[in-house]
Structure 1
């Protein structure tokens, strides 16, 4: 399954045997966010809570 990150537009291929594939297959309208963008969001959220 090929997905596009909703934030950066990077295309990623998800293997059928992964847990993420099963989650996205059962909820196809869920937006995909790549691991890189997830990490950026997590770091920014941590910075915001430390202020």
Structure 2
């Protein structure tokens, strides 16, 4: 399923450009303790599977 993107203007936040023809950017925070590497990797992989859908 291909979704058409709405045209928007590009804005810069620091060196990061958002909008316009820039790629979609997603930022998230982990819910697990960062010392639990296996749980963090699993959570990141879950996000990746969700985003790719």
Q: TM-score, normalization: structure 1?
A: 0.37
Which of the pair is proportionally richer in helix? 1
Q: TM-score, normalization: structure 2?
A: 0.35
Considering only CA atoms, is the larger Rg found in Structure 1 or Structure 2? 2
Question: Higher RCO, 1 or 2 (CA under 8 Å, sep at least 6)?
Answer: 1
